Amino acid sequence: MGLFQTDAWQISWWNEWGRRPDVELCFHGLGGSSGAYVHSYPIAKVFSIRCLQYVGTSYRKLSTPRTEYNTLGSVADLLPALKKMESFDWTEAVFSDMKSESGELQEMERWARKNGWYLRAIRWDTAYGIDAAGSFDQYLGMLGRNTRLKLYNRRKIFESVGDIVEENFWPNRAGDFFDLLNDFHRVRWGRPCFSDRSIAFHLDFLSHAEACGIQPLLMVLYNDQRPLSVLYNALHQGTIYNIQAGYAENFHKKIALGTLHLGYSIESAFNDPSVRYFDLLAGEGKNTNYKSHLATDQTPLTTFMIVRSPMFRLLYRIKDAISRLKEFRAAIG
């Protein structure tokens, strides 16, 4: 079971975004699977859409934290879940961030074709991770020179600047942690990382985390009593999930604070016998795809749409044909 399929994540997400008049629950995703719901909304003030999707995800309308590795559970759970989905009225279904190479994805594609529904690819992405079963020294040895410099070798400079302390703000200072994270993001990105509603979700998730075997790690790195970097991590069933990060801009021209803090966290994972994997999840940095340089493993993710409505099947086929024609014309100049 992954972190995003725990009862703590699924129920907290539903409690925050699912209790709306335009949302209908199909089933909860308890015990290691993702739930499903139908969201009704208008498009272009002309069409009415009923979009089926995973609990924890939202296509188009809701802005929520990202939920990855979505799954309906084991093979034995799959067919009953698909049958239950068929019993609901929906225009289209969007299945986000599924493992591309899973047999589950292939089975869902067969399910769609069997019913004569239209399949559309929406997005491809990659989740990155680090196998922590070996030694940290071995891991450092496989990194490129510049990556190793940022992750580890610059520690000498950082530690020479002032006293280094790392503190877990869970459970007593969780609110302060998210304030720091948002402050760092406002400077770097021009906007906070999490809205008030998203923070409420995360606090609710964390309040139920330990009951689901999750250890919250809200890590704050200090230099001379000044908080400089934060890592929002969570340990679950031998995997540390790096959910979010933030750091102070322009601290030192030779130090990449975010990567340096990750280095401390990754080393700690290697040194903890209960940890087998450090999951960096999907997404890229502002300037470079730093995760690809740190990772030992990559997991392709797929987001795809199944169009059930005959009218929308026709509209999407026309839309996709026009897009392909534009791409062809751009390719030939």
Sketch the domain layout of the chain as residue ranges: 3-126+300-331, 134-275
Residue at token pair 């139908």: 38
> Sign of the C-alpha dihedral, residues 75, 70, 5, 54?
negative
Nearest to 61, CA basis, from 37, 84, 82? 37
CATH H superfamily, domain 134-275: Gcn5-related N-acetyltransferase (GNAT) (3.40.630.30)
Contact yes or no for 54/67 (Cβ under 8 A): yes
Residue at token pair 């402050």: 183
What's the confidence (pLDDT) of residue 208?
A: 97
What's the confidence (pLDDT) of residue 139?
A: 98
What's the confidence (pLDDT) of residue 329?
A: 86
> Mean pLDDT in each 10-residue stretch from start to end of the chain (333 residues)?
94 96 93 94 90 96 95 88 96 97 91 97 97 97 97 96 96 98 95 97 98 98 96 98 95 94 98 97 85 98 98 96 90 82
CA atoms within 13 A on the CB side of 213: 14
What's the confidence (pLDDT) of residue 138?
A: 97
**Per-position DSSP letters for 179-190, written without gaps between them:** HHHHHHHHHHHS
* 178 backbone dihedrals φ, ψ, rounded to 5°: -70, -30
3 state SS of 98:
strand
Kindly state the tokens that stand for 164. 């280094």
Contact yes or no for 254/269 (Cβ under 8 A): no
Residue at token pair 């998730």: 205
Give every strand in the sheet of 36-43, ordered side by side. Answer: 23-27, 36-43, 47-54, 92-99, 297-307, 118-131, 277-282, 239-247, 226-236, 214-223, 164-168
Long-range contacts of 152-158 (CB under 8 A, 24+ apart): 152/263, 152/267, 154/254, 154/255, 154/256, 154/260, 155/260, 155/263, 157/252, 157/254, 157/255, 158/223, 158/252, 158/255, 158/260
3 state SS of 6:
coil
Q: What is the pTM of this model?
A: 0.95
Burial of 60 per CB tally in 10 Å (0-12, 13-18, 19+): exposed
